[in-house]
Structure 1
């Protein structure tokens, strides 16, 4: 799973501008893992930006760093330049460029080194590096492993912990799905110890009956059936 980790770390050491993206209609794991990874890269002195291919539900916009997210727009030259001039592009929670709609063409054409981080079955490796495991309950769990593997768990700040916990909580159905094991419970516990408020995060995501939330639930069910 982590065989490319050292190579990714070495590539980051010689990089400056990083783009992080995830699949269209981002869910909590997609956005949480992206923002968590962004916070880590920023702490290492890198220019890291999250660009989502589409907008996402308002009930996810409490996540730390949400105000820094850019939503892809092919008429926005600044966004196009960020993708074109990136040294590395991290593709989180997906492994098929079709999953990021028209942004996929720009990612494909970029000379940046691409890194795929995903936990879904049947990955399609379009990038140079891949961190993949179907044993992981969420991409957020893999991001935690990457941070721990590259540095140490002590680099997990409160902001990172909140983002990653949200991803794990939702992709495990609040720890009720069959993908729950001792490893993911351990990671979730560590995230709580680093400042993630489990009760508050659950309220922010689940205690919301907006139209956006109902649409999100429908999309989540569609994703579950598809993968």
Structure 2
């Protein structure tokens, strides 16, 4: 009974559909971490949550990936008073994105100039939007930060953009005060991530729905 209260049920049209969606979720989360690493190596600024993670990392000496995971866990604790339910995607998001980002940073050395860094950041931003579309379209629950937003919207009755702005602004301010890097890339992220996700998500979702419909007749015999 407790598990049903805390966790979202896993729903699938068939076993194959479930396996393919889990694979899609894992690929999406891995690529999300890769995208974070690319944007960080770009050296022109990072997203608000990464400003916070890097600020904490600089103050504590702990690795960026570990801090990213710990921040995600801390955000999940904020779900408790909001009575948000965890999904498989929520838990894996909190566990896998940080190590994937750390692996990317280990494999990719710092860039020599902004002329290399800026395109690298843009590549990371586009990849992050694509990866977000993958893991959201897999339908295993929202990530920790997205769940915090939707929970606050439900509890307060405020508009999504107001809650999102307050969360991102607060995180950015705290991260900046802790010494996290704020730059042109931070502005590019704020302006570009929404439209890019808005382009990728419906297309990936539509492809997933078409795949699920194809699988149902084959598994119903």
Q: TM-score, normalised by structure 1?
A: 0.28
Higher relative contact order (CA 8 A, sep 6+): 2
| Structure with greater Cα Rg | 2
Q: TM-score, normalised by structure 2?
A: 0.28
